A = this chain, B = another copy of it.
Amino acid sequence: MANNRLRVTPLGGAGEVGRNMWVIEYDEEIILLDCGVMFPEAEMLGIDLVLPDITYLRDQQHKIKALLLTHGHEDHIGSTPHLIADLGFPPIYGTPLTIGMVSNKLKEHRLLDKVTLNRFQAGDTFTIGEHFTIEPFHVAHSIPDTVGFGVTTPAGLAVYLTDWKFDHTPVDGRPTDIAKITELGHRNPLVLITDCVRVESRGYTPSEATIGEAFDNIYATAPGRIIIATFASNISRVQQAIDSAEAYGRKVVLAGRSMENNSRIALDLGYLRAQPGTLVRPNEAGSYPDDQIAVVCTGSQGEPMAALARMANKDYTHVKIKQGDTVVVSATPIPGNEVSVSRVINNLFRLGAEVIYGSHAGVHVSGHAAQEELKMLLGMLRPEFVVPFHGDYRHLMLYRKMALGMGTMYKDEQVLVAENGSIMEFSRGFGKIVSKAPVGYVYVDGTTVGDVGNVVVRDRQMLARDGILMVVVGIDRATGGLVVGPDVVSRGFVYMRQSDDLIDATKEVVRNTLGGTNGQFNGDTEVDTNFVNRKIKDAVSEFLYARTKRRPMIIPVVMET
């Protein structure tokens, strides 16, 4: 590593490049930007969360001077309690709302007394370590108090923007700080690191203000209760639901654990505002007429245990869906969730609700910049190098194509297409991927981190496809002859009670196999259990495939007696 260069590395998590965590290095100092979780992909069976792989930072904890957080969404703060110990408990920096949300998480994990929390305001300037001057600036997103960072180092100025858009009429009245961005642009930035996830969407992302209008229309005409599902962390959307409720004389119920938690923090810190008496508890909802109630709840992604799915399944105590209810799905399905969202909507219709959803309904806008905004940002900053991130590989490629399409401003090598773990170095006239940090998936399953790895997930995939079949035999230690069994137990392969013939035939295959090997164990050699194991596995596997064209996992259990 050349010591006079700025070094930046996105660390994994699943899927989108660099969405969850960035490592910024200069000389012997490191700062980390964000520490989020990814939600597991469909084939990561049984996994609850995916953390960034911080192997690259192992043995470098002493260099880590700070963890800087941009905003309070799960994919940017959610790994903090899981990883902060392994990172050596660096001090955490964020705006008041972000710190409020991360401290709530640290408290739940009993880690609050182990870390220093530093609150800053957009517009502040502060230094970290010897080499970093940090200038957070406000950006509009779907949660208040979101920032980007100017990071000045001896190698030059890096500008970091994740989860932003140019919303000129945001819910909290604080648009993206264009003045600050253009000012940074006048300082000849070395590198821009920017979110590009909506590069496929042409034009500009509509303002959050359009949602307020759509909500007002719904509140003005809905005959009964209004139930709005959105992300629990979409504080701006919750504010809009409350604003419309106050304008149209409704009480608001916040439903779902994470909705209640996040809203409580935002209310306490003044980022969510409600008049006294607007908010009522779920169990109080029944005492108001239906047309005076609005419910804001979790479950917009069809999550089976969240409030909306439970309502759709008639499993939510305080809200039983009925004719006259209007349900608003104020979110877009994240890829992979389309089917579960669709199922929830179908069930809500079945229960008699009117459901307002989908891209034409005008009840959701993205929190991310679309193509013209991405170009506008490039025009404002004109950095020497650009690293697009927070997207799949295809988004990064399209971003490069987009940048190269902007006249003569950029050449191919100025737009770096990185993957998780790509270590990039920058100095004037130099910007390259120089090496690769190891990155894999770190799974959280239940309470534990890391004990479920790829082997376990692959086994689950195999079990999910064709199930498992166990063959239990007791064999004579000396002769290898069958003395107990064979017993056959299977799950997820065939319905055992209706498959006596197949099970009996399988036992016969095992008997024949052991009879065949019998001779090999006579005399003075001892039985080799592994060998017997392998013989049973092969014979049964082959037999079952021929009969069913399926390949259940075969587990022989050979007990010597």
Task: Decide yes or no: A45 and B394 within 8 Å by CB, A474-B484, A557-B557 being known contacts.
Answer: no
Task: Decide yes or no: A494 and B202 within 8 Å by CB, A45-B465, A466-B46, A489-B555 being known contacts.
Answer: no
User: Which residues on the B side are within 8 Å of A452 (C-beta)?
Assistant: 494-495
Among A202, A457, A459, A498, max chain B CB count under 10 A is at: A459
How many chain A residues touch B (CB < 8 A): the figure is: 65
The verdict on A3 contacting chain B, using a C-beta distance below 8 Å, is no
The verdict on A124 contacting chain B, using a C-beta distance below 8 Å, is no
Asked if residues B474 and A561 are in contact (CB atoms below 8 Å), the reply is yes
Rounded to whole Å, the gap between the CB of A517 and the closest CB of chain B is: 20
User: Which residues on the B side are within 8 Å of A360 (C-beta)?
Assistant: 200, 202
The verdict on A456 contacting chain B, using a C-beta distance below 8 Å, is yes
Rounded to whole Å, the gap between the CB of A546 and the closest CB of chain B is: 10
Asked if residues B335 and A342 are in contact (CB atoms below 8 Å), the reply is yes
The verdict on A455 contacting chain B, using a C-beta distance below 8 Å, is yes
Asked if residues A358 and B200 are in contact (CB atoms below 8 Å), the reply is yes
Asked if residues B468 and A393 are in contact (CB atoms below 8 Å), the reply is no
| Chain A 165-198 near chain B by CB (<8 Å), digits 1 or 0 | 0000000000000000000000000000000000
Rounded to whole Å, the gap between the CB of A544 and the closest CB of chain B is: 10
Asked if residues B453 and A559 are in contact (CB atoms below 8 Å), the reply is no
Among A392, A463, A550, max chain B CB count under 10 A is at: A463
Asked if residues B335 and A394 are in contact (CB atoms below 8 Å), the reply is no
| Chain A 320-350 near chain B by CB (<8 Å), digits 1 or 0 | 0000000000000001101100100111011
Asked if residues A472 and B557 are in contact (CB atoms below 8 Å), the reply is yes
Asked if residues B392 and A487 are in contact (CB atoms below 8 Å), the reply is no
The verdict on A33 contacting chain B, using a C-beta distance below 8 Å, is no
Asked if residues B467 and A464 are in contact (CB atoms below 8 Å), the reply is no
User: Which residues on the B side are within 8 Å of A448 (C-beta)?
Assistant: 548-549
The verdict on A493 contacting chain B, using a C-beta distance below 8 Å, is yes
Q: Interface on A for B, CB 8 Å cutoff?
A: 41-42, 45-46, 200, 202, 335-336, 338-339, 342, 345-347, 349-350, 355, 358, 360, 392-394, 397, 445-448, 451-453, 455-457, 459-468, 470, 472, 474, 484-485, 487, 489, 491-495, 498-499, 548-550, 553, 555, 557, 559, 561
Across the A-B interface, the 8 shortest Cβ-Cβ residue pairs: A446-B549, A464-B464, A463-B463, A459-B492, A460-B492, A346-B393, A46-B465, A45-B464
